[in-house]
Amino acid sequence: MTSVPARAALKKYFGYDDFRPLQQAIIEHVYAGKDGIVLMPTGGGKSMCFQIPAVTMTGTAVVVSPLISLMKDQVDGLRAVGVRAAFLNSTQRGSESHEVEQAYENGELHLLYVSPEKLLSSGFFTFLRRRRVCLFAIDEAHCISAWGHDFRPEYTRLRQLKQAFPNVPVLALTATADRLTRRDMAEQLGIADAQQFIASFNRPNLRLEVRPGQKRREQIVRFLRDRPQQAGIIYCLSRKQTEQLSEKLREAGYRSEAYHAGLTADRRAKVQSDFIRDKTLIVCATIAFGMGIDKSNVRWVIHYTMPKNLENYYQEIGRAGRDGTDADTLLFYSYNDYLTLKDMISGSGNAEIQLAKLDRMKEYAESLACRRRILLNYFSEDHGEDCGNCDVCANPPERFDGTVLAQKALSAVARLRESTGIGLTIDILRGSGRKDVLANGYDQIKTYGAGRDMSTYDWSQYFGQLISLGYLYVAHEDFNKLRLAPAARRVLFEGETVELVKFQTIRDRKQAEESQ
Ligand code: ADP
Ligand code: ZN
């Protein structure tokens, strides 16, 4: 059985006794010569899925990665444990890359890391054909999709790969792909029918908390006082913010450093290595920080300002608690931050998609339903129960039986054949006499006017809850129309009851916060 050499290699090179869930299945899939899509959270152990085939199969595994700055570290790390790895990218001198090419041609390499530019440069496929490639691993594969949050145009040409090497298995790996990104990613790579391996994104040891963004520095200092000697990261929106905050924390006696793309490479490397060695306890950083950082004892992550989307948020909080023991995450949220981000995004490419994603982030921050459920639903995972380890679960708002309300909303969406967005659906529920409502005959459907008793504002809040709870989702690819999730069937046809949070309590809570 092929798993024997795989397991032996896991022990020999990496010192581990057992594979994590899915790793073994993915490796055997590669041995069978099949393509695959791997979705695992950061730190989930994706690399092993191509490293083990690389050291056990005949030929070289070619790993495509956009993170050029990390290649050297990755390769050094592998060499240190006896894996024959090398990399090729634009930062190398000619003599260096020549040596690597020679090693490949001599069949000496288990693994060859390349940047997408290098892979697609002229003559490179011909070069690869001089020897045998056993696997193409596309790391950070979400970068190929314009739906993703990290689109890289140079990645789109990777579709040539499957055409040029139809018999070499392709493994697309990512930590951050929502439903749409995942579909698009597979299509673009020409492996739409490939098996998908989706690991759970649940990280139950991460405590989730959102607080109103007032007096943030004071709140942070209080937060730190309760956590002496614990390492953590504070994510900020701007370079200036990282520096100012770090300065304040130093004044308050903390070993803190700022980290952002505007620092020299040497400086960044120093901050990073001091943090890994526990010389620096706190890093105030922009999103540039953390990519590929393997530090297991980060005890907390704070977001000084809200990230642009839930993918980034999830990836950033995921840097805490990798050792599996409890870790805290804290997000500061204010409506003003939302507006600032909205402005920033509006000027950028594919703004429409990014704005829809920002709205999901805002819904998360404003939500009064279990935050982990929202997060996991976003990644298409429905656990069907509250987590018990977020601020909402710890301090539950008043709930009521919202089954009838949910039935009205869901059946309106069903009767409208999932063809309307939230705003219009609410207008129809409220029996609006708007011209386009009447012109389209929406006043003829059975739920027209069934929700007259509630304001538009209340309805939109409850629709938000139904989305968060996984009964509905928004089809961003189709004019943000509302769609029924599988759970909606259970409410409409199988008598499932729905518990909702009383909207009144939301107002009370907001007022309480404001008067603080
Ligand atoms: P990812 O690429 O998904 O972010 P990595 O491949 O870097 O994750 O793995 C994260 C950490 O988990 C690494 O320290 C790695 O050595 C460790 N790891 C991976 N697979 C196993 C395993 N089967 N048993 C124990 N540790 C593992
Ligand atoms: Zn919860």
Residue having the nearest C-alpha atom to atom 10 of ligand 1: 43
Residue spans of beta strands (DSSP E) within 164-307 = 170-174, 195-198, 206-212, 231-235, 256-259, 282-285, 298-303
Mutation probe of ligand 1 site: the residue of 40, 47, 49, 322 with most atoms within 8 A of C-beta: 47
Q: What is the ipTM of this complex?
A: 0.97
Determine if ligand 1 sits within 6 Å of the CB of residue 45. yes
Best of 7, 17, 18, 20 for a ligand 1 pocket test (most atoms within 8 Å of beta carbon): 20
Of 198, 207, 210, nearest in space to 380 by CA: 198
* pLDDT tens readout for residues 419-449: 999 999 999 999 999 888 999 999 999 999 9
**What percent of the chain is modeled with pLDDT above 90?**
62
From ligand 2's centre to the CA of 394, what distance in Å?
Answer: 7
Q: Whose CA is nearest to atom 24 of ligand 1?
A: 16
Q: Which residue do the tokens 């032996």 mark?
A: 8
- Measured from the alpha carbon of residue 385, the closest ligand is 2
Q: How far apart are CA 91 and CA 512, in angstroms?
A: 55
41: Cβ below 6 Å to ligand 1?
no
pLDDT of residue 177: 62
d(CA 96, CA 197): 36
Instruction: Give residue 46 CA to ligand 1 midpoint distance, Å.
Output: 7
CA dihedral 184, 185, 189, 195 (to 10 degrees): -100
d(CA 223, CA 219): 6
Please tell me the distance from the alpha carbon of residue 300 to that of residue 233, in angstroms, as a whole number: 7
Distance 377 CA to ligand 2 centre (A): 13
**pLDDT for residue 148:** 65
Is the model's pLDDT at 144 over the cut of 90?
no
> Which tens digit of pLDDT belongs to each residue from 246-299?
999 999 999 999 999 999 989 999 999 999 999 999 999 998 787 667 788 999
Q: How many residues does the chain have?
A: 516
The alpha carbon of 307 and the centre of ligand 2 are apart by a number of angstroms equal to 20
d(CA 261, CA 119): 26
Cα distance between residue 242 and residue 245, in whole Å: 5
| CB of residue 6 inside a 6 A radius of ligand 1 | no
Instruction: Report the distance separating Cα 360 and Cα 313, nearest Å.
Output: 11
Average pLDDT estimate for 196-208: 91
Q: What is the pTM of this model?
A: 0.67
Sheet with 36-39: list strands edge to edge.
85-88, 111-114, 60-64, 133-138, 170-174, 36-39, 195-198
